[in-house]
Amino acid sequence: MDQSEIDSLMKKGDKPASKKAPKAGAESALGLPAGTIAPDDPQGHVISELDAVTSVTERETNKVMDQLDLISALVGTQQALITGVMRHPGAQDPGVQEAINQVMAAGKDIQNKVYEAMDLMQFQDITRQKLERIVHHLRQIHDYIVDLLGTGLKSDGERASISRTITSTGTTPDEKRAHADSVVDEFKRSHNKD
Amino acid sequence: MKILIVDDSSTMRRIIINTLSRIGYTDVVEGEHGKAGLEKLGQGGVEMIITDWNMPEMDGLEFVQAVRSQNASIPILMVTTNAAKEDIVQALQAGVNNYVVKPFTPDTLKEKIESLLG
């Protein structure tokens, strides 16, 4: 819900302002071409929206990764330049050498933080799989209702690509999470006995 | 040491490649699902596999089973969000040598790889 809709709701008796139809060639807020989501297909709409979220976050995460790669390369260049300066006859003063060492250490800290930030980008894949699990459950509910009503609204062709991954697996609920190392050790021990 | 990474998430493949390069493994090939992984494996030279589980076309479990039907010895590390005990056991029964749950730290990945290459 955007601000105009909230404002409309706040006005007693008014209906929320309808969203303007996207212009031809324009992009949605998610960065997808306008008109990619069929308005008369409620199931496809929700799934397509979730599909769009995963596509866009993956694309944007890769852009962040590009920037981090760039920062990493720039730090590498800076370290190489400073190493050159260290060897310069004019930089042999102990005070200058100490300052250069501090700059080098700070550069290494930046590099490590860049690596940590890259590792944190795993959230994107984990979030994607959680969304896929939600879509899977939504579809089950949808199919159940359709079966209950006896209508023939199910259409595989209308289903978005997000459905491709999940059948019965996905992210594991916290209460079911096991300690992988313990399970692996236990499995190997039991197989070594056989 | 050529390592095959199979994961449908380009972000995750990139993170794994980045981690590998920091611990000294730079010869990497990629596949976005099990079928692509089998193709890359067929091209030869791969000495270790890191695979996801939840993927389109052919998932990680089917991929591991297909690999094991033709290669009993190549080390396989599964890196996935599936963390239930029955999933881990199922993967081990299919033929993975070790198992890492996402999100992982570079140290965990390094430890698992080094223990597999022992």
The alpha carbon of A188 is separated from its chain's Cα centroid by a whole number of angstroms, namely 35
Distance from CA of B56 to the nearest CA of A (A): 5
3-state secondary structure chain A: CCHHHHHHHHCCCCCCCCCCCCCCCCECCCCCECCCCCCCCHHHHHHHHHHHHHHHHHHHHHHHHHHHHHHHHHHHHHHHHHHHHHHCHHHCCHHHHHHHHHHHHHHHHHHHHHHHHHHHCHHHHHHHHHHHHHHHHHHHHHHHHHHHHCCCCCCHHHCCHHHHCCCCCCCCCHHHECCHHHHHHHHHHHHHHC
Q: How confident is the model at residue A164 (pLDDT cuts 50, 70, 90)?
A: very low
CA–CA dist A83, A90 (Å, integer) = 13
According to the model, what pLDDT value does residue A16 have?
38
Cα–Cα separations (whole angstroms), residue B65 to A165, A171, B99: 18, 22, 15
Size of interface A-B (CB pairs under 8 A): 96
Residue, of B4 and A176, whose pLDDT is higher:
B4
CA–CA dist A163, A86 (Å, integer) = 57
Q: Which of residues 3-62 of B touch A (CB under 8 A)?
A: 7-12, 14-15, 18-19, 22, 53-56, 59
Q: Which residue of A has its CA nearest to B58?
A: A165
Q: How confident is the model at residue A52 (pLDDT cuts 50, 70, 90)?
A: confident
Q: Is B63 touching A (CB cutoff 8 A)?
A: no
> Mutation test of the interface with chain B: which of A75, A119, A126, choosing the one with the most B Cβ atoms within 10 A?
A119
- Residues in B closer than 8 angstroms to A121, CB to CB, are 11, 15
Contact A119 B15 (CB under 8 A): yes
- Residues in B closer than 8 angstroms to A59, CB to CB, are none
Average pLDDT over residues A67-74: 95
Percent of chain A whose pLDDT exceeds 70 = 64
The residues with which B46 forms a beta bridge, in sequence order, are B2
* Reported ipTM exceeds the 0.90 cut: no
pLDDT in tens, A21-38: 334 444 444 444 443 444
CA–CA dist A194, A180 (Å, integer) = 22
Q: Which of A121, A129, A180 sits opposite B101 (nearest CB)?
A: A180
Q: How confident is the model at residue A151 (pLDDT cuts 50, 70, 90)?
A: low
DSSP assignments along B8-63, one per residue: S-HHHHHHHHHHHHHTT---EEEESSHHHHHHHHHTS-EEEEEE-SS-SSS-HHHH
According to the model, what pLDDT value does residue A149 have?
80
- Residues in B closer than 8 angstroms to A118, CB to CB, are 15, 18
Q: Is B83 touching A (CB cutoff 8 A)?
A: yes
According to the model, what pLDDT value does residue A42 have?
54
Is residue A77 predicted with pLDDT exceeding 80? yes
> Mutation test of the interface with chain A: which of B5, B11, B92, B104, choosing the one with the most A Cβ atoms within 10 A?
B11
Distance from CA of A180 to the nearest CA of B (A): 6
pLDDT in tens, B6-61: 999 999 999 999 999 988 999 999 999 999 999 999 999 999 999 999 998 999 99
Average pLDDT, chain A: 73
CA angle B28, B66, B32 (to 5 degrees): 40
Q: Which of A115, A128, A170 sits opposite B22 (nearest CB)?
A: A115
CA angle A124, A126, A129 (to 5 degrees): 110
Q: Is A4 touching B (CB cutoff 8 A)?
A: no
Three-class SS state of B94: helix
According to the model, what pLDDT value does residue A156 have?
55
Q: Which of residues 63-102 of A touch B (CB under 8 A)?
A: 65
Kindly state the tokens that stand for A85: 């300066």
Q: Which of A126, A164, A180 sits opposite B99 (nearest CB)?
A: A180
Q: Which of A168, A194, A132, A177 is nearest to B99 (CA)?
A: A177
According to the model, what pLDDT value does residue A90 have?
84
According to the model, what pLDDT value does residue A32 have?
43
Name the pTM for this structure: 0.72
CA–CA dist A82, A74 (Å, integer) = 12
Q: Is B103 touching A (CB cutoff 8 A)?
A: yes
